[in-house]
Every structure is written in C-alpha cells, then in structure tokens.
A and B are shown apart, each in its own frame.
Chain A
Amino acid sequence: MITFPWISTLTIVPVVGAIVLLAFGSRNKVLVRWIALAFSFLALVLTLALWHQFNPLADGYQFQELHAWIPALNAEYRVGIDGLGLLMLLLTSIVVPIGMLASWQIQQRVSLYFALVLLLQACLVGTFTALNFFHWFIYWELGLIPAFFLIKLWGGPKSAKAAMQFLVYTMVGSIAMLMSFLAIYLATKTFDFTELAHLAQSGKLMPAVVSTLGWHLFTPAHTAMVIFLGVFLGFAVKVPLIPFHTWLPSAYSEAPTGTTILLTGAMSKMGLYGFLRIVLPLFGVQMQQVLTPLLWLAVATVVLSAYAALAQTDLKRIFAYSSINHLGYCMLGIFAVVKFTGGDAALTAQKFAAMNGVYLQMFNHGLTAATVFWFIAMLEKRSGGLRGLNDFGGLRKAMPVFTGLMGIALFSSLGLPGLNGFIGEFLIFKGSFPLVTWATASSAIGLLLTAVFILGVLQRVFYGPLGEKWVHLPDLTLGERLTLVPLIGLMFALGLYPQFILGVVNHTAIQMALNLRNF
C-alpha cells in the first residue's frame, strides 16, 4: 500500500526552505525572513494535517514509512509517530515560528541564520519520527551543528566558549550512547526500536548482549549496567539532569534569544523523548536497580535548579534554571513510572497518570518557556540588550499590556491553575506521589521556590517606581500583540481543557506504561 509519505515530507520541507534561503542570499533581508517564516508555517500546517488524521486510539506507530537503506548493516529508513511523536512534532512546529519571530531583528547573515533554524527544525522532526537507531542517531547528532553555529555566530560576547561547551558536552554523552548502541547492535544485529523493545520485553536483550561481549572482568549485571549508563549519560546531558547541566545556563544565556527559544522549547525535549522512546523500553530492569539514586537526581534537579534560579540576576539565566526545574518534574514522573509495582492495578493507574503528566508537561514547558523567552527578547530589543534583574523597575507603568501578557506567561510557568502549566504538574505529582512518596514530596519545594523567583522577577522588573531611563519604553505593537494572541490563547485553552492534548496522547501513555509492567 502506497500512501502519501507525510513524515518524510515534513522532514524535507524545512530542508528545502534552508536551501532556498541559502540560494537566495541576504540581499533582501525582509524577504528572507518572510520566506523562512512561510516554510515554518508550511511545516505547521503539515503537522496540523497529521494531527487531524491521527487516530488516537490505534496501537503502535502511524504514518509509517519503511525503506531498505543499508542492507549490510540491517539499517532501514523507518519513520512513524505515536501520540508522543505527534505531540513533539506539534511542539516543534509551534516553537520554530516563535523562534523566528523572536529573531526578526537579526541583521548579520540573515539568510544563513534562518537556514540554520530550518535545518535544526528538520533534525528535530527527524529525531521525533525516526524508528531506527541508525538514522535517529544521525538526526540527533546533526541537530548539534546548526545549534552550535547559531549560538556561536549570533550569540553574546562569550558565545564561542558557550557553544563549544554545548557541543563537546553533548558530544561526549552521544559518544557514550553510541558505544552502548554498538554493543547492542553487535549482539542483536538490529537497530530497529520496535524490535529492540520486543527483545527487551521478553528479557532476551541483555543476556544476548552480555554473552556477545563477554567481558570477563564484569558480571553480566554489571555489563548491562555499564551499557545502560552509557545511554543514560547521553540523554541526561541533553535534558539535562543535575549534575550534567552546566552547559545549559551559559548556552541559554549566550545564545541569541531566538535560538534560546529553540533550545529550550524544542531541543530540550529531545532528551526526554529519548528517555521515553529508548531508555524506558530497553533498560527498565537497569533503571529499577538504580531507581533510588535516579530519583534523588531528579529531586536534586528540581530543587537545586530552583534555588540556583533564585540566585541569578540575568533574566535569561533565571529562566534557563527554571527550564531545568520544569524538566526535572518530567524526569521525576519518568522515574516514578519505572518503579516496580508487581502489576498492582491501582498503582498502574497512577503510572498512567504520571505518564500523561510527563507528556503534558513536556508540551507545556515548551510552549511556556518559548513564550517567556520571547518576551525577554522583546524586552532586550526595547532596552538595547539589557536584561538584568536590577536594570529595570516599574516597567508596568510604561508598558502595561506587555506586563499583563508576560505576567500571564510567567504565571503559566509558575503553574497557576487555569493556565497550561498546572495540569501537567498536577498529573505528575498525582501519579508519582503514591509510587515514590518521599521524592515527590521533596520536589514540592520546587513549586514553592518557583513562585518565589517568578514573583521576584515581576517585582523587580515591573513593579516599584519607574526609572527615568524607561519612561518612553514602547508598549507592544499591534503586530506583536496579534502574534502573541494565539500563544496566550493556547495557554488558556490547555489550562481549561487539557483533554485537547490528553485525548491524543493518552493511549500512547497507557501503552508505554503497560509495556513496562512485565518487569
């Protein structure tokens, strides 16, 4: 049966866009921006078409494409999406236009910039749809290149160092992951995610790997653990989990804000996606063995990042740490789902809740963080690059609409009920609490601290007496308001009617949690 190759088309569209932009050159900057935006909107339209055709109740992957590629390596081109993949595609398609709009004022090498953004989008789409490790890994690594140049070439004064740190850090993790996967490949002769997951579920994966490798210094359990840790490192760096996060604050703060939006909105989801798509199905046993340390890592991520955010004075650094904090909740949910429950029905239902919460939180964080960084970009544009916590004060008087809308985004980040942030956090806590009570209860400190630093930002930037310097700061223009309306509207819509997302991902969440039950 030959159907329209939706996913490949979706991957190709940004690449074509990038080629068009590069061919076009930077002669007419305005036109370049609009072309780039048009391509990203085309991708958004394609994603919405996918969303429309997706069957939320079907098992397994949909819109699959399968082509033989390198028979000698048993590497096939296989793509497809389930609820999670679709959600991530939607997020990517929303975040990329935001990133472009937030980079509108970039003046140097405009066509290169937007071409790189589109390439990054293609890599993200590829990562979220690939079902074979071989080309999945290619997308995963290829995504680093545009990100690296975006940070380095258009970033702040220390961007070269930050970009290098970002690249090398992620690369080290990726190499560890690649080694582990080569070991698995040597034993199983396949790169296909589904086949590997089946092997792991029937408990054959690790014995096969261990017997092939035969490291006599290690017991089989240790060998399996080493392989797991390799993959874990690859994803933990990307998410990031404390203490593998130190690349993030400098990368986020040095990158141009439009790029930060892409990094936090979409790229940070790659790590979580990897945990859900690869680590959970393949390494459930190993995760259960080290569940306690993993949980404490998640708690440390939530709590320490919130505390660290409190100590920052640069708005971008604050929200970089806030980003770590929010993804920490996702990690908590993921680790809680792994916990061995012996098939207890009530606890399995909690796993469903936590899994749904993780999905929702991933999407919500992407949306909210992208919007918050966009506001920071607009503030930077108005203030001539200033974005320190102590540089402002009383801005609400000069720009009331800006303050109001950014306030909505900030409160969404804070997890205010009625906005999108709340339901995801609620579901994660609801699901995790009975599974891993103490870790969940400790993470609640993060909820409090988030309120402290977000209100701190509001107080120091927008409240208090208005400084002489900022009296004539312009409020949001009509165009900015119009582009913000869909985002703010989406925040309200998801806060009031989360079924809109949950209805699509719920079945996938159940499948994913159920596939763990065998352990």
Chain B
Amino acid sequence: MSPLSGYLLLSALLFSIGLAGALTRRNAILVLIGIELMLNAANLNFIAFWRYGPNPAALTGVMFTIFSISVAAAEAAVGLSIILAVYRHSKSINLDAMNSMKG
C-alpha cells in the first residue's frame, strides 16, 4: 500500500465523518463543524496529490490549500455570524425549525 492511498483513505474517512455530522446533527454549529471537516478532507487530498503527484516542485497543492483554508475561515466566520443572527431571531439554532425558505 502506497502512502498516497493511506492519505486518501484518511481523507475519505474524514470526509465521511464530516458528511455524517453535517447530515445527522440538528445543531447548526455542529453541522458547520461537519462541513469544515469535509473541507479539510479535501485539503488533505490536495496536499497528498501534490506531494505524490508528477510535479511536486511546483507548490501548486500548497497554494491551493492555503487559499482553501483562508476561504474556509471566511466561510466559517460568515456561517457563524448567520447562525448567531438566526439565533437572535428565533432563539434556537435547531435546523429543523428553520424551514421558512420552503418553496
């Protein structure tokens, strides 16, 4: 088994944990955490494919990952502030109660 497959397996595991968290939790913060986990699984993939890829000298994976982490940070900030606003509005962060966008 190559080191790449190990990283990929870890990444898949992380992604699955994140997905399960995002789908099953009712707490919005926990769902956000799940999403962050999935994002980081993707970052792990980037690093792994760069390191074991055909051209490790180009630093493309690192660049991508740094962008991705900074975007994720912004996203988390926005997401958390939306959750805070929702909480202020409805005194709850339970996602089941939030269906006013229903079509």
Chain A directly contacts chain B within the complex, with at least one CB pair under 8 Å = no
Show the binding face of A for B, using Cβ within 8 Å.
none
